Structure 1
Amino acid sequence: METLCLAPSPSSLLLTTRHNNQKKNLRHQPCTITAVLTNPAEVISLKPSTPLNPFEKAPHKPFHQTQPLKKVSAESLKYESGFLGAVPDKSGLDKGREGNNNIHDAMSYLTKILTSNVYDVSIESPLDYAPKLSEKLHANLWLKREDLQPVFSFKIRGAYNMMAKLSRQQLARGVICSSAGNHAQGVALSAQKLGCSAVIVMPLTTPKIKWKTVEKLGATVVLIGEWYDEAEAYAQQRAKDEGLIFVHPFDHPDVIAGQGTIGMEIMRQVQSPLHAIFVPVGGGGLIAGIAAYVKRVHPKVKIIGVEAYDANAMALSIHHGKRIMLERAGGFADGIAVKKVGEETFRLCRELIDGVVLVDHDAICASIKDMFEENRSILEPAGAVAIAGAETYCKYYGLKGENVVAITSGANMNFDRLGLVSQLAVGRCE
């Protein structure tokens, strides 16, 4: 396998490209770039005649966005861990649109979820009872084991569901996506299954285990930008320039519906009345999909989002009554570290979810430890967020004997992070 590492001049955007046996077309990068091929060892200097930043050439318009989003600090919204905050005001939402209570929209998503094409590549993940944690919490905690999917994350569902609906002509053009890691693996595996090419754009902060796995699945990997939003801007522009199909990680109805099959499975698997389902929230695709199904068939079940204090874009958006952009999103739980949630996902969450619980890094690490002690499985930080939310919520409200579900959404943990996780977890317990 040949690796191409691109290091631009200090004044330009940092970009790294990794690919498998493919020639790289650099026409979309009109800045001075030094390329070092590690196999064979060779240095090439490329100096285009017009050294412009690619984003100056064709400004990017984010997905569905019609006006700039207000920038706010994550620290501007804080409440006690375990408290159910950011409760949506549903009093005046969507009245009269598409009929009373938006019935047409509800049936549309139910149909999409019931007919989603996910099981060609994913499994119906088990709903495991957690006896040790249940005893500790005095409540019955069930774990929806999405960390057991083929790519160790739920993301394969939405990616494949959207891509499987593309025409042969669209697949022949190839796909591109932006991702912090798990969606990337889902798109790469889906492309392999469907026989199309895939370009995966990931932030430079992406754990090595994630982009290495994407490479092994045969996709072309591009590492660019410090945050997801920079990676998305690049991917959207490249899709436009090269005619590629952009597979959104969360803000697309088919992606949302694919993730919604998790809610469908939970309600089929659970045997007793359910108090709440705790869902990790990044861009909002997972919780929107689960809520779109569960709230339509079992409206009394609470759908509770869980975010890290320093990556709380959904809680802040609900708090302000409109989508906002974080000035900075903490990257500890990199799988949910986004600066802004999706337009469609926010619309669904504002209508359907019951609120958001916020947790700190220590609580996330403690839940990783709890999961390990429960069944010797190691979750990534984003994958343990829902457990942390369920634990803090049950303790805060003194929940006794209720049934709650937490989505263990991913297990793509970098080995070199285990030391920090262990240290924070032990400190929490002392």
Structure 2
Amino acid sequence: MLSQYAKRIELAAMRVYDVASITPLEEAPKLSARLGCRVLLKREDTQPVHSFKLRGAYNKIAQLDDAARARGVVAASAGNHAQGVALAAQRLGIPATIVMPRTTPAIKVDSVRSLGGRAVLFGDAFDDASAHAQELVEQRGMTMVHPYDDADVIAGQGTVAREILQQLAPLRVRQLDAVFVCVGGGGLLAGIAAWIKHHSPKTQVICVEPEDSNCMGAALAAGRRVRLQQVGLFADGVAVRQAGAEPYRVARALVDACITVSVDEICAAIRDMFNEKRAVPEPAGALGVAGVKRWAQMHDVTGKTYCAIVSGANINFDRLRHVAERAELGDDAEALLAVTIPEKPGSFKRFLKQIGRRAVTEFNYRYSSPSEAHVFVGIKLSGGLAERAALIDALREQAYPVLDMSGNEMAKMHVRFMVGGRAPGLYDEHLFRFEFPERPGACLDFLDAVGSRWNISLFHYRNHGAAYGRVLCGLQLPRGQVGECRKSLDELGYEYWEETSNPAYQVFLGTQAES
């Protein structure tokens, strides 16, 4: 397998530079100093389409014969692969059709069209678009350019690793200890692992995935490919439910370890890239950096040299707000606390004195009763988890009931932006958190579907520039109808989580207790 892919990658290197760039391998001095190791950044975000995807797409398309070229190529994608296929086909003079979900942001649709591709909007999700693309293959004889489950695409992505090893000598690197690779379907991982293990077998290949989209890690742990029931949507570039068959075959033999990182850690890694290079990678593009940081927490990295693949920079501007909100939490540089304070003059001042000279990032107040008030407060930290624990202990020593909300997704996504509490007599409220495809009329469709039978007692909608909206919704469910409601929600097909017992809900209601 190694020699076979090494030959394929060598041949791919004779093609891909017709359209792709040899991207820089750069030092990350600030991150290196913080982690105590040497961190190098492979800047695939600087490609013409701001992603490595161009390599594999071009390598695949360039090998088509004249008859196949005349019939054209088709791909299903809502992001980087779409732009890679469009540019590759444009350079080769081949018609390209890109099937994209109707939820795809206009900036990506316009980008495909500006590169000469025909963008077809179909369905609300990737699976719908993929099925339609396959219909075009069967009806018109077009060639499918798969984003990752194709040996030629994998070989094209493998040229990234070929460059990395060639670029080590000018940086005076004698041994690269590990390379950290973002993983969706696994095409990039397979290509890099094949080249690295053939030419530098002592270098570890580390798969990095979001905690809520770890299809490759789950497959390697199970010893077979698995299909995730649902995937997180923040790192949309790697939101894949099942790893490709060929990438999995390669990864099973060659990948050394798989690690996962949280949304907050991804946001912190995006901020790290901005601080290092004034660059803003997309969430999937920052996975490699987040992986290095997580690895440094788990192992002794002193004297080691690591490479993180910065795989892409096609981020929607609207998402930067969400990234900025969560980056501090990802580095344990902010604490979100729910605290009960006395409802009397001077309480707020006394509470701030307990916090000390730390910066307060937000302060949300809700009157609870004549004797007490509930606050939701964000506090900047410089000492990470240890400082947060010490701060909580100090507040509790002063008889403040405290609930740590720093790791609570509902609190971070919804409650910190809400005010209010339980209305009198509202004792049959059940709380659900939803995600649904974002399109014109989507919120109305949601309300029609969910609110047609049960009364909606709470509604908080938020979108941070992704293709999916997020809603926190309270439904009044009379005794005995909870199971019926769950069945109805399952039939509607919306992704949802029950949150009635979430401590963040008690914060909102003003009934939280110390935890």
Fold-level match, TM-score > 0.5?
yes
Rounded to whole Å, the distance in 1 between the matches of 2:47 and 2:255 is 25
Structure 2 CA distance for aligned equivalents of residues 406 and 349 of structure 1:
18
5+ long unaligned stretches in structure 1: 1-104
Residue 298 of structure 2: aligned partner: 396
2:145 to 239, 242, 247: 247
1:339 counterpart letter in structure 2: R
Q: CA deviation at 1:320?
A: 1.1
Query: Which runs of structure 2 are paired with 1:105-116 in the superposition (5 Å)?
Result: 105-116=1-12
Q: 1:327 aligns with which of 221, 225, 229?
A: 229
Residues 151-166 of structure 1: matches in 2 within 5 Å? 151-166=49-64
Aligned CA distance change for structure 1 residues 226 and 332 (closer, same or farther; 3 Å): farther
Report the AA paired with residue 243 of structure 2: V
* Change in 2 beyond 3 A, CA 1:277/1:207: farther
Runs of 4+ residues deviating >4 angstroms: none
Paired residue for 2:200? Answer: 298
d(CA) in 2 for partners of 1:224, 1:387: 34
Give me the whole-angstrom Cα distance separating, in 2, the residues matched to 1:284 and 1:202. Answer: 21
TM-aligned CA deviation for residue 302 of structure 1 = 0.4
Aligned alpha-carbon RMSD (Å) = 1.1
1:142 aligns with 2:40: yes
Deviation at 1:234, TM superposition (A): 1.8
State whether residues 212 and 232 of structure 2, in contact with CA within 8 Å, keep that contact through their aligned partners in structure 1.
yes
Matches within 5 A, 1:2-21: none
Contact 1:229 1:339 in 2 (8 A): no
Give the stretch that moved more between structures: 136-145 or 216-225.
216-225
Alignment-derived partner of residue 250 in structure 2: 348
2:197 is equivalent to residue 197 of structure 1: no
SS at match of 1:324: coil
Amino acid at match of 2:211: Y
* Letter paired with 2:161: G
SS at match of 2:227: strand
**1:377 counterpart = 2:279:** yes
Contact 2:184 2:209 in 1 (8 A): yes
What number of residue pairs does the alignment pair up? Answer: 326
User: How far does residue 377 in structure 1 lie from its aligned partner after superposition?
Assistant: 0.4
Shift of 1:229: 2.8
Paired residues of 2:56 and 2:157 also in contact (CA < 8 A): yes
* Superimposed CA distance per residue, residues 299-358 of structure 1 (whole angstroms, 9 cap, x where no aligned partner): 110000100011111011111111111111111101000111111110000011012110
Q: Secondary structure at the match of 1:326?
A: coil
1:409 aligns with 2:307: no
Moved more, 151-160 or 198-207: 198-207
Distance 1:316 1:226, change over 3 A: farther
Contact 1:209 1:412 in 2 (8 A): no
Q: 2:79 aligns with which of 181, 185, 191?
A: 181
1:236 to 116, 121, 134: 134
| Secondary structure of 2:16's aligned partner | coil
1:223 deviates by 2.8
Residues 254 and 372 of structure 1: CA distance in aligned 2, closer, same or farther (over 3 Å): same
Q: Which of 169, 175, 179 lines up with 1:277 in the alignment?
A: 179
How far residue 202 of structure 1 moved from its aligned partner, in angstroms, is: 2.1
- Aligned AA (1:287): L
The alpha-carbon deviation at position 233 of structure 1 amounts to 1.9
Distance of 1:184 and 1:157 partners within structure 2: 12
Q: Please name the residue that 1:259 is paired with.
A: 157
- Return the offset for 1:228: 2.5
Spell out, residue by residue over 1:380-417, the C-alpha distance to the aligned partner (whole angstroms, 9 max, x if none). Answer: 00000111011111122131121000000000010011
Alignment of 1:66-85 (within 5 A): none
**Secondary structure at the residue paired with 1:325?**
coil
Whether the 8 Å CA contact 1:228–1:338 is kept in 2: the answer is no
List runs of 5+ in structure 2 lacking aligned partners.
Answer: 335-515
Following TM superposition, by how much is the alpha carbon of 1:243 offset from its aligned partner in structure 2, in angstroms?
A: 1.1
Distance 1:207 1:141, change over 3 A: farther
Contact 1:306 1:386 in 2 (8 A): yes
Measure the CA separation in 1 of the matches of 2:295 and 2:122.
Answer: 37
Q: Larger deviation: 258-267 or 200-209?
A: 200-209
Name the TM-score, length of structure 2 as normaliser: 0.62
Kindly report which structure 2 residues correspond to 1:37-56, keeping only aligned pairs within 5 A, or say none.
none
Identity among equivalent pairs (%)? 49
2:320 alignment partner in structure 1: 418
1:403 and 1:207 map into 2 onto residues whose CA distance is 38
Secondary structure in structure 1 of the residue aligned to 2:265: helix
TM-score (norm 1): 0.74
Say whether the 8 Å CA contact 2:2–2:197 is kept in structure 1. no
Greater relative contact order (Cα 8 A, min sep 6): structure 1 or 2?
A: 1
Tell me how far apart the structure 1 counterparts of residues 258 and 121 of structure 2 sit (CA, whole Å).
Answer: 31
